[in-house]
Amino acid sequence: MAPETSLSGTSETPQRNAHSHGRRFASWREHHAWSAVASLRRLASRPLGSLLTIAVMGLALALPLAFYLLLGNVQRLGDALGQSQAISVFMQPGQTAQQAQLLARQLGDRPEVATVKLKSPQQGMDELGRMQGFSGALQALDDNPLPWVLQLQPRAGASAASLEQLVSDTRAMRSVDMVQDSGSWRQRLEALLGVGQRVVLVLASLLALAALLVVGNTVRVDISSRSEEIGVLLLVGASGAFVRRPYLYAGIWYGLFSGILAALLALAIEFALAAPVAQLSRAYDGQLQVGGLPPWLLLAVPVAAAALGWLGARLVSAWQLRKAT
């Protein structure tokens, strides 16, 4: 009988362990659900304080989004105003059409050039003739003094350094008399946009830190107001993870709601700017294309804010519970 009892006991042990693990997991899951609901109810029980905290965090997170939106549209505005303005190449007087076409093919093969447009001396003379005050002077000329002109349209995304090298190489060609380029303007704009991107990054980091501190301070006050309850839980054997779980969910709720508010504020800014931007675009014959924030960024902001709220609550609750023990 002894061997049978032993075999029966060993066969029942894994079942008991599995059942025990299942009960622990179910209890852990139930406490997570309870903590999420209880923390949300606690936020709703003090609506004014919760709304103020969410509003402060939402405004802090909306500022980098607004600057990011502004920076992206400044870059598009630079494109419309001439960041990719055509480079005008004036050939030496007396060059033939075949020489102009050969130079156009040579420059069009460069990777930073999108298109090359040829303008003949007669076309240039016709353009001057259509300008007020030039028709009489042009009739007094015996021959056409204008040279062949090539207009190079830079490829989208070409860097300022590559365009500067293109201008330098073109000026060194024997058949070229003069090159008109706004390269210095492009370099200034790219430098300004680079500074703007760095400012947005630093500003986003500082405001994210501010949001983390706001959540941390709110959770610290909440823990301090419930110090006696926490002490009783610790005395009866509750673990630190069990005690701080509701406060972690509170941090997640603060971050999630503030992230949603920040995304809504960014959309409100886009909506407020829609009418004047459309008017500005019409002034530039529709060349100015103004865009909004990408959808993935608007969806990522609440998720990142919730993670930020969790982190702030985690750090503060761990520190507070360490003091309590």
Map tokens 């033939």 to a residue.
96
CA distances from 310 to 5, 41, 47, 282, 286 (A): 51, 17, 20, 46, 45
Position 54: which residue type? Answer: I
Give a yes or no: residue 102 inside a domain. yes
Give me the domain span that covers residue 159: 86-181
Q: Which residue has the tokens 């609750």?
A: 317
Domain-located, residue 243: yes
Confirm whether 248 is domain-assigned: yes
pLDDT greater than 50 at residue 2: no
Q: What pLDDT, in 10s, does the model give residues 75-94?
A: 776 666 654 567 889 988 88
Calculate mean pLDDT across residues 219-226. 82
Helix (H, G, I), strand (E, B) or coil at 94: coil
Say what the pTM is: 0.66
Domain boundary among 130, 159, 181: 181
| Number of Cβ within a 10 Å radius of residue 50 | 19
Residue 204 located in a structural domain: yes
| pLDDT tens for each residue of 9-61 | 455 566 666 666 667 777 778 878 888 898 899 889 889 989 999 999 999 99
Helical H segments across the chain, by residue range? 2-45, 47-78, 97-108, 121-130, 135-139, 160-171, 183-225, 227-235, 240-283, 295-324
Residue 28, domain member (yes or no): no
Q: Do residues 229 and 250 share a domain?
A: yes
Closest CA to 213 of 203, 201, 221: 221
Q: Which residues contact 259 (CB under 8 A, 6 or more apart)?
A: 58, 61, 301, 302, 303, 304, 305, 306
Asked if 207 and 275 sit in the same domain, the reply is yes
Whether 219 and 250 have beta carbons less than 8 Å apart is answered as: yes
Residue 291 — left, alpha, or beta (φ > 0 → left; ψ -120 to 50 → alpha)? beta
Residues 156 and 198 reside in one and the same domain: no
How far apart are the C-alpha atoms of 321 and 212, rounded to whole Å? 19
Domain count, the chain: 2
